[in-house]
């Protein structure tokens, strides 16, 4: 639903805030505070209510609450002196004093209040090893392929990552999966096989009851998705690639795998006492934040995969080469890439678009690897995705 107040519009379905028709980037907790206030216009919102909804009942300092309030005021064009939108009620709480309206044409839509745990089931891959699968939402079938090592079970406990999944599930019957176990090579190291990932996609689609569907591949998930699309053109109606790349970093640069700085970070510190190693890893992919998305994403990877498996994944991603696959993709394809992506440059997005026959490229004005709800480029991406998936090709 859209909430219109002052010169702002807050859309809780898209997790977006605009002021004077310009997108405003806000961190999830700041968004949640504004969302709480616009749902109770003119009412006193106490400190306890804020802690319960915005911080989910956690212990939080007065300075953290004050900082969040200041950020909320700044986001809506207010300040602590004017208090023309958000008013402080001394020693009691806050009150939204601007008039709030909701367009009558807006049908009620699910609101993202707090992320929930994923309901998953387990299937066997082609090699007999376990795959976690989650299916939710209503609408046309869509299968999301994440980079290996991403945990669908814990992503829903993160507001930022959970919101991206919820956005898909509001419009599509969405399937996600995680391979929890990997085969081993001759040296006993985990074996990361993108052909095997393509087989996993087929197994997940069968388990979800999807015959013909859209594939949305994120970053390293694009390698398995490309292979599946080439092998099964009858099953893939459309393909969307977010932050994908034709060649891995070592392949395109001609450097040794060991020269990768992120690989060295994993090798030396993964799952160490310092909790911020995963966050440092994610910072390379999301330099624009928000910080809690970076921290949550780092914990998801760091807590889910052992150092040995994460190194094997890193080596497989760095050495991949998809050049021969591109001309064999038959379905309409949307490629989305960040203009200032420091890990996989926009030239990789252009190579994908040049190599896949029925493709188009959307370049987002950001340095973050993939778009997330609440970011300035989310609305641009979401509108383009909806338009692409609704086209009659």
Residue of 364, 292, 294 whose CA lies nearest to 334? 364
CATH number for the domain harbouring residue 319: 3.40.50.1820
**Side-by-side strand order, sheet with 359-364:** 121-124, 130-136, 173-179, 141-145, 213-218, 236-242, 333-338, 359-364
How far apart, in whole angstroms, are the C-alpha atoms of residue 356 and residue 206?
26
Q: Are residues 130 and 82 in the same domain?
A: no
Report yes or no: 214 and 141 within 8 Å, Cβ to Cβ: yes
How much of the chain, in percent, has pLDDT values that exceed 70?
Answer: 94
Separation CA 362–CA 288 (nearest Å): 19
Mean pLDDT is lowest, of 69-78, 198-207, 225-234, 272-281, for 272-281
Structural domain contains residue 107 = no
Last residue in a domain, options 101, 130, 161: 101
Specify whether 73 is located in the same domain as 145. Answer: no
What the block records as the tokens of 51 is 């802690």
- Residue 118: the pLDDT is 54
Using CA atoms of 361, 364, 367, 372 in order, give the dihedral in degrees to the nearest 10.
Answer: -110
Q: Are residues 172 and 25 in the same domain?
A: no
Mean pLDDT score, 182-205: 88
Its domain, for residue 243, covers 121-390
Same domain as 162, residue 69: no
Residue 48 falls within a domain, yes or no?
A: yes
- Residue 300 pLDDT more than 80? yes
| pLDDT of res. 381 | 95
Please check whether residue 110 lies inside any domain of the structure. no
93 shares its domain with 178:
no
Instruction: Give the pLDDT confidence score for residue 106 in this predicted structure.
Output: 40
- How does residue 270 score in pLDDT terms, banded at 50, 70 and 90? confident
Q: In this structure, what DSSP letter does residue 258 have? A: G
Task: Look at residue 280 and tell me whether its pLDDT is greater than 70.
Answer: yes
Q: Which of 10-14, 88-92, 234-238 has the lowest mean pLDDT?
A: 10-14
Residue 187 lies in a domain: yes
The Cα 344–Cα 244 span in angstroms is 8
Q: Are residues 217 and 132 in the same domain?
A: yes
One domain, residues 51 and 136:
no
CA proximity to 3, closest of 42, 30, 50, 39: 39
* Shared-domain flag, residues 182 and 270: yes
**pLDDT higher than threshold 80 for residue 200:** yes
Total structural domains in the chain?
Answer: 2
Given 68, 101, 134, which residue is the final one in a domain? 101
Q: What is the pLDDT of residues 334-367, one digit of tens each?
A: 999 999 999 999 999 999 999 999 999 999 999 9
Report if residue 109 sits inside a domain.
no
114 belongs to a structural domain: no
Same domain, 170 and 261: yes
Instruction: For the chain, give the mean pLDDT.
Output: 88
CATH code of residue 74: 1.10.10.10
Indicate whether 85 and 142 sit together in one domain. no
Give the confidence band of 16 by pLDDT, cuts at 50, 70, 90.
Answer: confident
Identify the residue whose tokens are 């806000």.
26
pLDDT at res. 110: 36
Last-in-domain residue among 101, 132, 147: 101
Give pLDDT tens digits for 53-102.
Answer: 898 888 888 888 999 999 999 999 999 898 999 999 988 899 999 988 87
Residues 296 and 183 in one domain: yes
Q: What is the pLDDT of residues 136-188, one digit of tens each?
A: 988 999 999 999 989 998 888 887 888 899 889 989 999 999 987 888 877 77
Same domain, 215 and 363: yes
């Amino acid at each position: 639903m859209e909430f219109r107040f002052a010169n702002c519009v807050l859309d809780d379905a898209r997790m977006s805030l605009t002021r004077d028709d310009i997108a405003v980037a806000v961190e999830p907790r700041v968004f949640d505070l504004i969302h709480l206030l616009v749902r109770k216009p003119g009412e006193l919102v106490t400190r306890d209510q804020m802690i319960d909804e915005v911080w989910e009942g956690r212990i939080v300092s007065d300075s953290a609450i004050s900082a969040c309030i200041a950020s909320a005021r700044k986001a809506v064009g207010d300040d602590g002196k004017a208090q023309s939108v958000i008013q402080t009620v001394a020693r009691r709480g806050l009150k939204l004093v601007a008039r709030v309206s909701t367009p009558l044409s807006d049908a009620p839509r699910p609101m993202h209040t707090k992320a929930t745990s994923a309901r998953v089931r387990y299937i066997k891959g082609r090699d007999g090893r376990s795959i976690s699968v989650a299916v939710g939402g209503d609408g046309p079938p869509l299968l999301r392929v994440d980079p290996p090592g991403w945990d669908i079970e814990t992503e829903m406990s993160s507001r930022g990552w959970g919101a991206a999944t919820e956005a898909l599930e509001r419009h599509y019957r969405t399937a996600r999966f995680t391979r929890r176990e990997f085969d081993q090579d001759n040296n006993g190291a985990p074996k990361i096989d993108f052909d095997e990932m393509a087989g996993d996609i087929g197994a997940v689609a069968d388990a979800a009851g999807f015959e013909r569907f859209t594939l949305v591949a994120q970053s390293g998930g694009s390698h398995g998705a490309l292979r599946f699309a080439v092998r099964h053109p009858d099953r893939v109606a459309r393909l969307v690639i977010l932050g994908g790349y034709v060649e891995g970093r070592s392949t395109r640069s001609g450097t040794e795998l060991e020269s990768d700085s992120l690989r060295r970070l994993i090798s030396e510190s993964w799952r160490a006492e310092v909790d911020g190693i995963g966050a440092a890893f994610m910072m390379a992919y999301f330099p624009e934040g928000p910080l809690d998305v970076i921290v949550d994403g780092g914990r998801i990877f760091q807590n889910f995969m052992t150092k040995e498996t994460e190194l094997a994944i890193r080596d497989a991603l760095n050495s991949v080469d998809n050049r021969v696959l591109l001309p064999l993709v038959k379905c309409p394809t949307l490629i989305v890439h960040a203009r200032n992506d420091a890990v996989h440059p926009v030239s990789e997005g252009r190579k994908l678009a040049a190599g896949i026959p029925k493709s188009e490229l959307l370049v987002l004005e950001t340095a973050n690897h993939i778009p997330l709800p609440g970011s300035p480029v989310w609305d641009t991406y979401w509108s383009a995705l909806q338009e692409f998936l609704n086209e009659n090709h």
